[in-house]
Amino acid sequence: MTAPIAAHSLLALLALLFAPLRVLGLSEGENKPEQDNNYMVRQHSLIHPYQGVGITLPNWDFLGNTMVTGSFIRLTPDLQSKSGALWNFAPIKSRNWEVHVDFKVHGKGTELFGDGFAIWYTKDRMQTGPVFGSKDHFSGLAIILDTYSNHNGPHNVSDSGFLGVNCHLKASLQHQHPYLSAMVNNGSWSYDHDRDGTHTQLAGCEVRFRNVDYETAISIRYENDILSVSTDMENRNEWKNCFVVGNVELPLGYYFGVSATTGDLSDNHDIYGFKFYDIDKSDITVGLVSAPSAPVLCPKLAHLILQDEEMKQRSHIIPKAKTFEAPREHKDDPKPGMSNAKIFFILLFVVVVAAAVAIFAISYFKDRNARKRFY
Residue 126 has pLDDT above 90, yes or no: yes
Residue 202 has pLDDT above 80, yes or no: yes
pLDDT tens-digit series, residues 128-152: 999 999 999 999 999 999 998 765 5
Phi and psi for 283 in degrees, rounded to 5? -65, -40
CA distance 239 to 98: 13
Concatenate the DSSP letters of all residues of 207-276 into one string: ---BT-SS-EEEEEEEETTEEEEEEE-SSSSS-EEEEEE--EE--SS-EEEEEEE-SSS--EEEEEEEEE
Residue 349 has pLDDT above 50, yes or no: yes
| Per-residue buried b or exposed e for 268-278, using 16+ beta carbons within 10 Å of the residue's own CB | bbbbbbbbbbb
Of 42, 218, 207, 25, the closest CA to residue 119 belongs to 218
DSSP symbol at 180: E
CA distance 168 to 125: 34
pLDDT tens-digit series, residues 2-42: 444 444 444 444 444 444 444 333 333 444 445 455 589 99
Instruction: Give the least confident one: 54-63, 95-104, 320-329, 340-349.
Output: 320-329
- Mean pLDDT, the chain, integer: 78
Phi and psi for 266 in degrees, rounded to 5? -150, 165
Of 217, 256, 261, the closest CA to residue 64 belongs to 261
Which residues, 6+ apart, have CB-to-CB distance to 31 below 8 Å? 38, 39, 282, 286, 289
Q: What is the mean pLDDT of residues 186-198?
A: 79
